[in-house]
Amino acid sequence: MPDAPAPALLPTTQRLLLSRTATAQRNGRVPSLVTGIVRGGSLVWSTGRGAVDEPHQDVQYRLGSISKTVTAVAVLRLRDEGLLDLDDPLETHLSGTPFGDRTIGQLLSHTAGLRAEAPGPWWERVAGPPWAELATQLEPTDVPHAAGRRFHYSNLGFGALGELLSRHRGSPWAEVVRDEVLLPLGMTRTTPRPGGRAAAGWAVHPWADALLPEPEHEGGGMAPAGQLWATLQDLGRLAGFLLGDTGDVLAPATLDEMTAPAGVDSSAQAWSAYGLGLQVVRNGGATLIGHGGSMPGFLASVFVDRDQDLGTVVLCNATSGLDGTLVGDLHSIVRTAEPRVVAPWTPLPRLDDELLAVVGVWYWGTSAYGLRLRADGLLELTGLAGAGRASRFRSRDDGTFLGLDGYHAGEVLRVVREGARVLALDLGSFVFSRTPYDAQAPHPGGVDEAGWRAAP
C-alpha cells in the first residue's frame, strides 16, 4: 500500500517539471499537453500547456492502449473469482475464432501469436463492427506465430478478451469495466466516448505549423484495446492503483502478478517487457510499470515507480511528435530532487524459533548466500559475494516456502532436518549447506570422502 498522502512538491521541483513539460509541448508542436505527478495515491502536481487552460485536470483525452490495462484488470477479477484460469484455452470461454487454442494468459501478455490488428480497414480510424461480425472475418492466417514463442503486440487479442468479459458478465465490455474497475476507483470522468469538456484530436503537419482534425468513432469489437477517454485526474487515480492503492478492485497479489515481465530476465540492467496488460520498463536504474497509448490525434502515458511511490501521467492531443523521453525525465526530476522517504524499519512482531534456526549463511557448492528473515515474514536469499540468484520466499502451510521472484520464482524451498538440527536447504534440487560441500548434507552426487585438500 502507498504511504500517507504526500505533501505538495517543492517549488524548485515544480519549476523543473514545468520547464520540462513546456519544452516538450513547444518542441513537439503539440496543440495541448497536460502532465502530472502522483504520490501518496493522488496528484501532487500537474500543469497544462498549449491550447488548454484551467481546469486542465478535467479535460478528457483519448487513452488508447491504456484501455488494455483496464480490460486486463477486469479479466483478472474473473480469474480471482474462479471463473477462469490463465492457462485456459480461449475456446473454453469464447468460441468461433481461429486462435481458440491460445490461452487467456497468452492473450494478456501478447504472446498468443495473433496478428497485430483486426482484419479490414485500420480500426483506429474507422468505426468498427461488433465482435460477432468481426469474428466472421477472422482466418487462420490471422495467427501468424506459434503460441508462446515470441512477444507480438496484438490489439486483436484484447478485442477477444473484451468479448470474453461480456460473455461472462452478460453486459457489454464498456459497462463491465465501468462498474467493476472505473467507478470503484473513482474514475468517474473515464468513458468510452468523449463527454463534457474534451480535447479535439489533431494531426500536426510535419513541415508546417498547420493542423488537421483526426476522426473519432465507436470502436465496436476492438473497443477494449483502445476506446477509453479520461482526464488527467482520473489517469492519476489509475497511477495510484498501480502504486498499490487497489481498494476492492483487485488483490495486491494479483496486481503484483500483472507486473511480472513475461519472457525477460528482470535482473538485467536495461530491458522492456510486458506482463499481464502492463508494460514493464527499466529506465535509468528504475523499473517503471504502466502503459502507453496512442490513437489518431492523441498520445497518453501512465507509468509508476513503485519503489519511489512515484507516478507520472501524460496526455496530449497530437498524433505524433511528443518527446519519447518526457515520462522518464519527469520521473528522474522528482526522484533526484525529492527521493522517497521510506517508512522506518521495525522488528518482527512475533519471533518463530523454527524460522530463526534457518537464517544465516548458506553455501550452494562454494558460493556463499545469506538467508534473512524479514519483518514482513518473508525469507530473503541473497548472494554474499556481489552475485547470485536472489529471491524472496513465502511460507506455506506444509512447512515449505514458495519462491516469489527472481530465478527461483515458483520453486519450492524445503528445510532438510536431522532430528531437531537443520542440516540443509533443498531449493528445487539445489542443496545449500552450512559449510561448502558439507559431507553430511545430501549433495547430489555426494562429496569426496577425503574432503578438502591442499594442492596435489
Please enumerate in sequence order all residues whose Cβ is within 8 A of that of 348, keeping only pairs 6 or more positions apart, or say none.
373, 375, 377
| Cβ 105 vs Cβ 87: under 8 Å | yes
DSSP-based three-state secondary structure for 368? strand
- Which sign does the torsion angle of CA 322, 110, 311, 227 carry? positive
| Cβ 302 vs Cβ 239: under 8 Å | yes
Rg (CA), the chain: 25
For residue 47, list its beta bridge partners: 35
Residues of CATH 3.40.710.10 domain(s) within the chain?
Answer: 11-337
Which cell numbers hold the place of 299?
498520445
Question: 182-219: b or e for each residue (b if 16 or more CB lie within 10 Å)?
Answer: beebebebbbbbbeeebbebbbbeeeeeebeebebeeb
The second-level CATH assignment, the architecture, of 11-337 is 3-Layer(aba) Sandwich (3.40)
Which cell numbers hold the place of 88?
485456459
SS3 of the chain: helix, strand, coil, percent, to 5: 25, 25, 50
- Residue 1: what pLDDT? 42
Would you call 402 exposed, middle or buried from its count of C-beta atoms within 10 A (0-12, 13-18, 19+)? middle
Please enumerate in sequence order all residues whose Cβ is within 8 A of that of 61, keeping only pairs 6 or more positions apart, or say none.
34, 198, 199, 229, 230, 231, 298, 300, 315, 316, 317
Tens-level pLDDT at each residue, the chain (456 residues):
444 567 899 999 999 999 999 999 999 999 999 999 999 999 999 999 998 755 699 999 999 999 999 999 999 999 999 999 999 999 999 999 999 999 999 999 999 999 999 998 999 999 889 999 999 999 999 999 999 998 999 999 999 999 999 999 999 999 999 999 999 999 999 999 999 999 999 999 999 999 999 999 999 999 999 999 999 999 999 999 999 999 999 999 999 999 998 877 666 667 889 999 999 998 878 899 999 999 999 999 999 999 999 999 999 999 999 999 999 999 999 999 999 998 899 998 888 888 899 999 999 999 999 999 999 999 999 999 877 889 999 999 999 999 998 889 999 999 999 988 999 999 999 999 999 999 999 999 999 999 999 988
- Residue 265: what pLDDT? 62
Would you call 130 exposed, middle or buried from its count of C-beta atoms within 10 A (0-12, 13-18, 19+)? middle
φ/ψ bin of 112: left (φ > 0), alpha (ψ from -120 to 50), beta (otherwise): alpha
Report how far residue 41's alpha carbon sits from residue 4's, in angstroms, rounded to the nearest whole number.
8
User: Could you tell me the CA-to-CA distances from 255 to 72, 252, 446 in Å, in that order?
Assistant: 10, 5, 43
Amino acid at 11: P
Angle between the 66-80 and 155-169 helix axes, to the nearest 10 degrees? 40
Report how far residue 254's alpha carbon sits from residue 80's, in angstroms, rounded to the nearest whole number.
8
| Cβ 186 vs Cβ 198: under 8 Å | no
Question: CA triplet 258, 264, 268: central angle to 5 degrees?
Answer: 115
